[in-house]
Amino acid sequence: MNSVNSALKKAKFLEYIFRVVLGFAALFIGIILPIVIFIILYKEASLAIDKLGIINFITSTDWDPVAGKFGGLVPLVGTLIATFLATLIAAPISMGIAIFLTELSPNKLKPIFSTAIELLAAIPSIIYGMWGLFVVAPLFGEKVEPWLQDKLGSVPVIGKLFEGSPTGVDVLTTSLVLAIMIIPFMSSVVKDAFNMVPPIMKESAYALGATKWEVIKQVMIPITASGIAGGLILSIGRALGETMAVTFLAGNVNQIPHSLLDPFTTITVALANQFTEADTDIYLSSLYFLALILFIMSFIILYLSKLMLLQIEKKWKV
Amino acid sequence: MGANKLKRKIENYTFLTLSLFSAVFGLFFLFWILGDLFINGFKYINIDLFTKDPVPPGMEGGGLKHAFIGHIIITFLGTIIGTPIGILAGIYFAEYGRNSKIARIGRNIVDIMVSNPSIVIGAAVYAILVKPVGHFMGIAGGVALALLMIPVIVITTDEMMKLVPRETREAAYALGAQPWQVSFQVVLRAAKVGVLTGVILGVARISGETAPLLFTAFNNNFTNLDPTKPMASLTVTVFQYAMGPYDEWHRQAWAASFILTFGVLIASITARYLIQRKKH
C-alpha cells in the first residue's frame, strides 16, 4: 500500500513538474517575450525619447547623424507609402488568386497551384531583394519607367507621379516586389475563408440561377468580409516589417518621395543600413526609437487582423 | 431580359478571366524568380565555392566556405534552442491550455509573433546579448533565429496535436495514465510527423533570414567555428556581395542564392506534403 502511495505521489509530482515546464514555455512565447521585447526597445529608445520628444521625433524630417539631428518622419512616411502601394497592388490580385484556387481550378490541380503560390512566401526576402536589384530594377529603369513616363507623363495629376529620372531603384519597383511578397499571405487567408463558406449557401444561390461571379460577389464575399479584411491587414503587417527586399530597392535616400520614380527610405531600411554604423548613443537610440515605432505599429495591425479572422472562424467553423 | 442575361454573362466571364490572370501573374513571378536564380546561379556552382575561403575583393576565385559553415552553425544553434521551447509550448496550448483564457490570449499573441518584423527581434537581441558583451557573435544570431522559429513550431505542434482524435486520449486515461503521460507518450507520439513538420517549417523560415543576423552574428571573412565570435552566414554574405561592386562577388552571390533558395523550397515542399498527408 505504501509503495502505491509513493508511486502516486511521484506521479503527481511529475505531473506538476511537466505542467510548470510546459506552462512556462507557453507563457514565455505567448506573453513574456513580446513584453520583454517592448521593454528592451523602450529602454534603448528612452534616450532619444527624452532628448528629442515623441511628437518632435515623428514630425521632424531632419536626419543628420553628424549634426546630431534625428527625426523619424521620412522613414515613417516611406514605410507607409511602400506598404500602401504594395497592398494596393496585392489586394485585387490576391482576391483573384483566392477565387481561382477555390472556384476555378480543377480539383486535381488545386494542391499544386496553391503550393506554387505559397512557395512565393517561402522564397527568402534577400532573394527578392537581389533579384529585384539585378533583374527588375534595370528592366524598370531602362524600359518600363521611360515608357510609363512617355505614356502617362503628360496626363494631368497622374503625370506628376512619374516625374524624375527613371533609375529602377525607387518607390514603384519597391512596391511591386513587396506586393509579390505579400500576395501569398493574403491569398491564402482569403482562400481559407472562402473554403469555410457552407456549400449549401452557394448551392442555393446557384439554384436561383446566379452566375459564378454573382455567387462570389453576392454570397461568398459578403459572408467572408471579415476574413478578407483580416487577410488584408495581415499582408499590411507583413509589408510594414519587410526589410531585405526593400533595402536593396528603396535607394536609401532620406527624402519623402514626390513621385513613384523617386528613391526613398523606410524604417527597416534605416535600421538595416545604419544600425551597425551608429557611433553615438543618441544615434543608436534614435534607431531604436524607429524600431519601437515599427514594433508597436505592426503589433497593433497584426492584432486587428487576428481579431477579424477570429470573427469569421467563430461564425462559420463547426 | 435577353440583354440583361447577356450582360450578366459577360460580367461573369470578365471577372473569372481576371481571376485566372491573377493566378497566372503569381505563377509568372514564381517562375521568373526561380528561372533567374537557375540561369544566373547554377553555372557558378563549383567545388571551390564550398571548399575555399574568400579571396580579397576584386580577385577571381575563392569560395564561400566560411559562409556555408557559419550558416549551418547559426541555423543549428537556432534550431536546438528553438525546437524544445516551441514543442513544449505547443503541447501546452494543445493539451493543457485548451479552455483557459490566458492560454487563448497567449495563442493569439503567438500568431502575431509569427509575422513580427524580424529586424526588430534582431535589434532586441543586439541590446541584450551583443551590446553588453561588446562584440557580435554567432550565438546571438542563433538566439535571434530561435525566437523567430519558436512561434512557427508552436502553431504547427498545436494544430497537429489537435488532429489526434479524442478517443486516443480517453483510451490512455482509461488505462490509468497521468495527463503528462498522455501528452508525451500518446498524443505527441501520434503527432510526431506533424511536429517534425513544424520543425522543418521553422528551419526553412530561419535559414532564409538576413535582417536579424545583421546586428547579431554580423559577418566574418574567415571560416570560424567559434560561436562566441562574429560569424558569416550565407544570407548576410549574399547581402554584402550583391551590394558590392565586383562581378566575382555577384557571381558568388547568385550561386549562394540558388543553393539557399532551392534548399528552403525543398524543405517547405516536404513540410507541406507531410501536413497534407496528415490532414486527410
pLDDT grade, residue B9 (50/70/90)? very high
Q: What pLDDT does A14 receive?
A: 86
B211-264 per-position pLDDT tens digit: 999 999 999 988 999 999 999 999 999 999 999 999 999 999 999 999 999 999
pTM of the model: 0.93
pLDDT above 90: percentage of residues in chain A: 79
With contacts defined as CB-CB under 8 Å, which chain A residues touch B207? Answer: 124
Query: Which residues in chain A (85-144) have CB-CB distances under 8 A to chain B?
Result: 92-97, 99-101, 103-105, 111, 113, 115-120, 122-131, 133-135
Q: How far is CA A82 from CA A23, A115, A176, in A?
A: 40, 27, 9
Q: What pLDDT does A317 receive?
A: 62
Q: Which residues, including other chains, have CB under 8 Å from residue A310's CB and lie 6 or more apart?
A: B108
Query: Which residues in chain B (73-112) have CB-CB distances under 8 A to chain A?
Result: 85-86, 88-89, 91-93, 95-97, 102-103, 105-112
Helical ranges in B126-246 per DSSP H = 131-133, 138-162, 166-174, 179-181, 188-190, 192-207, 211-214, 234-243
Please tell me what DSSP assigns to residue A109. Answer: G
**Mean pLDDT of all residues in A277-299:** 95
Q: Is residue B1 predicted with pLDDT exceeding 60?
A: no
Q: How far does B139 lie from chain A, in Å, by closest CA?
A: 18
B11-50 per-position pLDDT tens digit: 999 999 999 999 999 999 999 999 999 999 999 999 999 9
Q: Which residue has the higher pLDDT, B280 or A89?
A: A89
Q: Which residue has the higher pLDDT, A318 or A29?
A: A29
Rg (CA), chain A: 25
A286 touches B: beta carbon within 8 Å = no
With contacts defined as CB-CB under 8 Å, which chain A residues touch B85? Answer: 25, 28-29
* Residue appearing with cell numbers 534552442: B81
Q: Which amino acid is at A282?
A: I
Q: Is residue A303 predicted with pLDDT exceeding 80?
A: yes
What sign results for the dihedral spanned by CA atoms B13, B15, B19, B21?
positive
B82-130 per-position pLDDT tens digit: 999 999 999 999 988 878 888 889 999 999 999 999 999 999 999 999 9
* Residue appearing with cell numbers 499571405: A185
With contacts defined as CB-CB under 8 Å, which chain B residues touch A175? Answer: none
Contact B40, A138 (CB under 8 A): no
- The partner residues of A63 in beta bridges, in order of sequence, read A70
Q: Which residue of B has its CA nearest to A293?
A: B120
- Among A272, A259, A270, A279, which Cα is nearest to A57's? A270
Q: Average pLDDT over chain A, rounded to whole? A: 92
